[in-house]
């Protein structure tokens, strides 16, 4: 048995640390959290100072047993969980589970997993920071209280299986509020005038692109202006040149890394954090959950050496950035590579891309500002008083742009012009432009907004955004937009031409949209628990957690101050037994039956209802289709949905019935079901299209089955990943080199038996 034992959270982290230490160290992983509140009960004694009832997590018994054996046989035990509140709490839980005295625990942490950092940490172990543990306990207890008390209320008032969370519900509110802003936005249009000139310079002519700062609202005003420019003589009125600097960006924090990885690499927030975790555990980058902009002196020296060596001394500009984030957590450094001389790290393309982004940003943060020359040329004519402007920007010294180019960094060079120089008009366009509503949130944009408002902390952004999507309150999707006409006038060679053109409007990619369930839950929470989903309240709670971490506030008292009024309002809402909140809206009445038609949230989601719920006759229901919404559904659309199931014809002596199921619209024929494609409209489906759908489905089924040994109850099928054997509700892989067409029942049983034995050995 090794003399010393080190306990970390992940096997990857353990593997990296093992490389730096000798055989005297035995390194074990908890494989994530090891103890938490119980899943199926509150687990908090609200009458006795909110004492939490912690239990070992399911499936961790073997891990705990191995840890206890290792600890018992070691001279010294180090707990090396992550350097943040959550890591501190895991260390505290470990100490309790392993029967260790909290005061005697050797707690080590490192912001980078390098040989020097690991050895240095082991040389100077510290105790568990109980204030940090208490801050994490307060967060966990408060979130459990909110979730466990609000969720049953949602089940009774809206629909079963819903849940609410303190930070998640606020994130949903942000998205709903933005969507309502967009829906209320009044689109206006105006004409933007641009012009292309030629500047005579010696024997050559250079193009100058200019724009009129004024916008015209009316078509008559546009035409009048263009007519006044016919035959006009244009000249340069004045030239304004200014020297400016573009400052280097700060190194990455959790939030800015998520934003840039989303913008430049198109990674989701969760994907970014998973990749960053792998890079950290492999020892390639520093800890990736941080608010800090600080870089250590060792890192600054390393970066300066790298910059000077690659680009020259004039490009090096060491600087320290001040962390401005309110309530910034205790992580010591920004996210940076552990070895700046290594420009690439990672075992796959995505890891390498993220590492390269971090390397570039870290380099840029310690490089000189870029020098640019900005030129504005103002152009006038002899026929009217309007002035056009041409703008250009030239980088005279690239500085940090050598390594970190922004998407909008473009050089627009203008020819050497001086006041009085004549310009020849080539073409002038007046194009109708529409005002744009506020942009929907992408995942990185939502992270930025949450950080601005002080909602959540680095460790919470990714799980929050994943949770609201997994719960069905928000969807991330592309929407194609719609065609929109716009007017354009063109003045060329003394003639004005008017055209109607078409553009694609309101198309979006990978943006967050609230679902009907999300809207209704949000509306309910605002009506009854406005403080819980209030931005300022949520930010204040985060500040309280920070105070607990700093030892300035007692966590039980903070929870009590929140819980007592919150619980009273829960009780009050539960007392209103017959009051439900289903987003119900009366659309009108059915012209055939005269019954009322409603749209609302039902047990299985948004639906339409024909008839009243409180009558002896059972109402008729139909689910909404993809793209249909509670707030905008019309009576005619609802009646179309209620017309299903409906027979659209016969084929081979059997009726073809169109209806809806759990997985969307389908055609039923001969006892079998054939799903419509996602883009298919069940209301517009013809008999011919249904027959085609049936035959396509049959072809797929025929192609799927290679053998069907009926009595043997064994089938050989074509699957997504190749042929396989299906029997007894289980699937078995066919060995490479075996021809599935030639298989017999006996050979199938032999393959199945071998597969079972192999799996049994692996499990053992």
Q: Say whether pLDDT at 260 is over 90.
A: yes
Which of 159-163, 174-178, 523-527 is predicted with the least confidence, judged by mean pLDDT? 159-163
453 and 566 co-located in one domain: yes
611 and 687 co-located in one domain: no
Identify whether the C-beta of residue 294 lies closer than 8 Å to the C-beta of residue 334: yes
What CATH number is associated with residue 470?
1.10.460.10
What CATH number is associated with residue 270?
1.10.290.10
Q: Say whether pLDDT at 293 is over 90.
A: yes
Rounded Cα–Cα distance for residues 664 and 439 (Å):
30
Confidence of residue 201 (pLDDT cuts 50, 70, 90): low
| Cis status, amide bond into 700, omega within 30 of 0 | no
Does residue 301 fall inside a structural domain?
Answer: yes
Question: The pTM is what?
Answer: 0.83
449 and 422 co-located in one domain: no
Q: Say whether pLDDT at 219 is over 70.
A: yes
pLDDT at 407: 57
Domain containing 637 equals 585-642
Q: pLDDT tens digits, residue range 407-435?
A: 555 567 888 899 999 999 999 999 999 99
652 and 636 co-located in one domain: no
626 and 700 co-located in one domain: no
* Beta-bridge mates of residue 179: none
541 and 476 co-located in one domain: yes
Q: How distant is the alpha carbon of residue 629 from its chain centre?
A: 23
Domain count, the chain: 7
Does residue 270 fall inside a structural domain?
Answer: yes
What CATH number is associated with residue 415?
2.70.20.10
669 and 628 co-located in one domain: no
Q: pLDDT tens digits, residue range 7-61?
A: 999 999 999 999 999 888 999 999 888 999 998 899 999 999 999 999 999 888 8
pLDDT at 330: 44
Q: Say whether pLDDT at 445 is over 50.
A: yes
Rounded Cα–Cα distance for residues 447 and 464 (Å):
10
228 and 375 co-located in one domain: yes
364 and 376 co-located in one domain: no
Boundary-marking domain end, from 596, 612, 642: 642
Q: Say whether pLDDT at 405 is over 90.
A: no
CB atoms within 10 A of CB 79: 25
Does residue 134 fall inside a structural domain?
Answer: no
Q: Closest Cα to residue 208, out of 372, 377, 373, 374?
A: 377
Identify whether the C-beta of residue 608 lies closer than 8 Å to the C-beta of residue 622: yes
Residue 547 region by backbone torsions, left for phi larger than 0, else alpha for psi between -120 and 50, else beta: alpha
Q: Say whether pLDDT at 653 is over 70.
A: yes
Confidence of residue 762 (pLDDT cuts 50, 70, 90): low
Question: For 6-129, where are the alpha helices, taking DSSP H only?
Answer: 11-20, 61-72, 85-97, 115-123
Rounded Cα–Cα distance for residues 94 and 20 (Å):
24
Does residue 445 fall inside a structural domain?
Answer: yes
φ, ψ for residue 448, nearest 5 deg = -60, -45
Average pLDDT over residues 272-296: 93
pLDDT at 508: 93
Does residue 217 fall inside a structural domain?
Answer: yes
Does residue 133 fall inside a structural domain?
Answer: no
Catalytic positions, written as ranges? 287
565 and 454 co-located in one domain: yes
Identify whether the C-beta of residue 44 lies closer than 8 Å to the C-beta of residue 145: yes
Q: pLDDT tens digits, residue range 587-621?
A: 999 898 999 999 988 887 888 999 888 777 888 88
Boundary-marking domain end, from 665, 680, 705: 705
Boundary-marking domain end, from 312, 335, 368: 368
Which has more confidence, 376 or 576? Answer: 376
Residues in the chain: 764
What CATH number is associated with residue 105?
3.40.50.140
Q: pLDDT tens digits, residue range 70-115?
A: 888 888 999 999 998 999 999 999 999 988 888 888 999 889 999 9
Which residue has tokens 């689109």? 187
444 and 550 co-located in one domain: yes
673 and 699 co-located in one domain: yes
């Amino acid at each position: 048995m090794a003399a010393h034992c080190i306990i970390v959270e992940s096997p990857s982290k353990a593997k990296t640390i093992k490389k730096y230490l000798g055989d005297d160290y035995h390194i074990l992983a908890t494989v994530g959290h090891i103890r938490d509140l119980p899943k199926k009960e509150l687990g908090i004694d609200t009458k006795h100072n909110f004492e939490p009832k912690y239990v070992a997590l399911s499936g961790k018994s073997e891990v705990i047993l191995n840890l206890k054996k290792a600890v018992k046989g070691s001279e010294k035990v180090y707990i090396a969980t992550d350097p943040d509140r959550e890591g501190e709490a895991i260390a505290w839980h470990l100490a309790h589970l392993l029967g260790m005295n909290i005061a005697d625990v050797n707690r080590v942490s490192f912001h980078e997993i390098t040989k020097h950092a690991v050895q240095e940490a082991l040389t100077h172990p510290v105790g568990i920071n109980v204030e940090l543990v208490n801050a994490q306990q307060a967060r966990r207890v408060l979130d459990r209280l909110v979730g466990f008390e609000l969720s049953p209320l949602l089940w009774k008032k809206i629909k079963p299986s819903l849940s609410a969370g303190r930070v998640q519900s606020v994130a949903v509110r942000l998205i709903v509020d933005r969507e309502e802003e967009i829906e209320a936005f009044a689109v206006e249009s105006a004409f933007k005038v641009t012009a292309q000139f030629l500047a005579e310079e010696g024997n050559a002519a250079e193009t100058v692109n200019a724009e009129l700062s004024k916008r015209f609202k009316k078509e008559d005003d546009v035409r009048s202006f263009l007519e006044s420019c016919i035959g006009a003589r244009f000249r340069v009125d004045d030239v304004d040149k200014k020297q400016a600097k573009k400052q280097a960006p700060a190194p990455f924090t959790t939030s800015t890394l998520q934003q840039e990885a989303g913008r430049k690499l198109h990674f989701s927030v969760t994907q970014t954090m998973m990749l960053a975790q792998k890079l950290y555990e492999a020892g390639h980058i520093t800890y990736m959950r941080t608010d800090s902009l600080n870089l250590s002196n060792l890192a600054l020296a390393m970066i300066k050496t790298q910059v000077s060596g690659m680009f020259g001394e004039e490009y090096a500009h060491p600087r320290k950035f001040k962390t401005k984030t309110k309530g910034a957590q205790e992580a010591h450094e920004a996210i940076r590579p552990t070895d700046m001389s290594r420009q690439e790290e990672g075992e796959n393309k995505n890891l390498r891309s993220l590492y390269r982004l971090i390397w570039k940003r870290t380099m840029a943060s310690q490089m000189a500002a870029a020098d640019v020359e900005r030129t504005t040329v103002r152009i006038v004519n002899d026929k009217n008083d309007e002035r056009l402007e041409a703008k250009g920007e030239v980088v005279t010294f690239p500085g940090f742009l050598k390594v970190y180019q922004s998407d909008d960094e473009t050089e627009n060079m203008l020819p050497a012009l001086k006041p009085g120089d004549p310009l020849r008009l080539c073409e002038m366009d007046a194009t109708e432009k529409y005002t744009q509503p506020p942009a929907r949130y992408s995942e990185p944009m939502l992270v930025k907004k949450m950080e601005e408002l002080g909602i959540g902390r680095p460790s919470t952004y990714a799980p929050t955004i994943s949770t609201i999507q997994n719960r069905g309150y928000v969807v991330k999707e592309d929407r194609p937009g719609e065609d929109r006409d716009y007017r354009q006038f063109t003045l060329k060679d003394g003639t004005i031409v008017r055209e109607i053109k078409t553009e694609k409007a309101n198309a979006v990619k990978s943006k967050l949209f609230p679902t009907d369930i999300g809207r209704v839950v949000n509306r309910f929470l605002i009506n009854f628990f406005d403080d819980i989903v209030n931005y300022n309240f949520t930010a204040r709670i985060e500040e309280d957690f920070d105070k607990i971490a700093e030892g300035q506030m007692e966590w039980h008292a903070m929870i009590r101050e929140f819980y007592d009024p919150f619980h009273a309002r829960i009780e009050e809402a539960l007392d209103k037994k017959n009051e439900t909140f289903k987003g119900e809206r009366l659309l009108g009445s059915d012209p055939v039956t005269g019954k009322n038609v409603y749209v609302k949230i039902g047990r299985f989601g948004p639906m339409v209802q024909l008839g009243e719920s409180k009558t002896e006759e059972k109402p008729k229901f139909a689910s909404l289709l993809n793209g249909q919404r509670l707030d905008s559904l019309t009576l005619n659309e609802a009646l179309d949905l209620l017309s299903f199931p409906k027979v659209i014809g016969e084929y081979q002596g059997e009726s073809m019935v169109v209806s809806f199921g759990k997985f969307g619209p389908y055609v039923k024929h001969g006892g079998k079901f054939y799903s419509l494609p996602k883009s298919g409209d069940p209301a517009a489906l013809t008999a011919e299209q249904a027959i085609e759908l049936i035959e396509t489905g049959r072809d797929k089924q025929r192609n799927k089955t290679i053998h069907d040994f009926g009595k043997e109850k064994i089938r050989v099928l074509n699957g997504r990943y190749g042929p396989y054997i299906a029997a007894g509700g289980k699937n078995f892989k066919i060995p490479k080199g075996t021809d599935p067409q030639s298989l017999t029942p006996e050979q199938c049983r032999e393959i199945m038996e071998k597969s079972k034995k192999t799996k049994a050995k692996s499990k053992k």
